[in-house]
Amino acid sequence: AIVVACNTASALALETIREEIDIPIIGVVKPGAKVAALTTRNKKIGLIGTRATVKSCLYKTIIQKEDPQIQVIGQACPLFVPLVEEGWLKDPVTIEIAKRYLDPLLCQDIDTLILGCTHYPLLRSMLKTLVGEQVTLVNPAYETAKELERLLKREHLEHEGEEEEEFPYRFFVSDEEEHFQEFANSILPYDVKMTKQINIEEY
CA distance 48 to 132: 16
Sign of CA dihedral 31, 117, 170, 18: positive
CA distance 38 to 43: 10
Given 3-state DSSP classes, what are the helix, strand and coil percentages for the chain, each rounded to the nearest 5? 50, 15, 35
Q: Among the options 6, 57, 77, 107, which is catalytic?
A: 6
The HSE-up count of residue 180 (CA atoms within 13 Å, CB side) is: 14
Q: Among the options 57, 77, 107, 117, which is catalytic?
A: 117
Max distance between CA atoms of the chain, in angstroms, equals 52
Question: Residue 164: what residue type?
Answer: E
- 77 catalytically annotated: no
- 6 catalytically annotated: yes
SS3 179: helix
- Please identify every residue annotated as catalytic: 6, 117
